[in-house]
Homo-oligomer: A and B are copies of this chain.
Amino acid sequence: MNLTRRDFAKLSTLALASRFAPSLYAGTPAVGKTGYCVIGLGRIAGHFMPGVRNTANSQITGLVSGHRDKAERIAADYGVPSSSIYNYENFDEIAHNPAIDAVYVALPNSMHAEYTIRAAKTGKHVLCEKPMSTSVADAEAMIAACKAARVKLMIGYRCHYEPTNLKAIRLIREGALGQVQAIESTFGFNISPGEWRLNKKLAGGGPLFDVGIYSLNACRYLTGEEPEHIAANASVIDHDGRFNEVEENVSWTMKFPSGVVASCNTTYGANMEGFYRVNGSKGWLEVDSAFVYEGLRLRADCATGKLDELNPARDPSHFQAEADHFSHCLQNGLEPQSPGEEGLRDMRYIAQIYGSAGIAI
Interface residues of A (CB under 8 A from B): 178-184, 186, 188, 190, 229, 231-238, 248-255, 258-267, 269-272, 277, 279-281, 283-284, 356
Contacts and interface: CB of A to CB of B under 8 A. Distances in A.
Given A272-B279, A280-B270, A181 B237 contact: yes
Given A235-B259, A251-B253, A270-B281, 20 more contacts: A179-B238, A181-B248, A182-B266, A184-B184, A184-B265, A186-B263, A231-B356, A232-B253, A233-B254, A234-B255, A235-B261, A237-B258, A251-B261, A252-B253, A252-B263, A253-B263, A265-B279, A270-B280, A270-B284, A271-B279
A280 B237 CA distance: 11
- Of A182, A267, A272, A281, which is in contact with the most chain B CB atoms at under 10 Å from its CB? A182
A196 to B, nearest CB: 21
19 contacts: A182-B267, A182-B272, A184-B184, A190-B281, A232-B253, A234-B261, A235-B260, A236-B259, A249-B261, A251-B253, A251-B255, A251-B261, A263-B265, A270-B279, A270-B281, A271-B283, A271-B284, A272-B279, A272-B284
Contact of A181 (B181, B184, B270, B277): B270
Contacts of A281: 190, 238, 269-270
A184 B182 contact: no
B251 A182 contact: yes
Given A271-B284, A281-B238, A261 B255 contact: no
Contact of A188 (B182, B254, B260): B182
A280 B183 CA distance: 22
Contacts of A179: 237-238, 269
B254 A251 contact: yes
A255 B231 contact: no
Nearest to A228: B233
A253 B267 contact: no
A228 to B, nearest CB: 9
A110 to B, nearest CB: 25
A212 B184 CA distance: 14
Contacts of A255: 233-235, 251
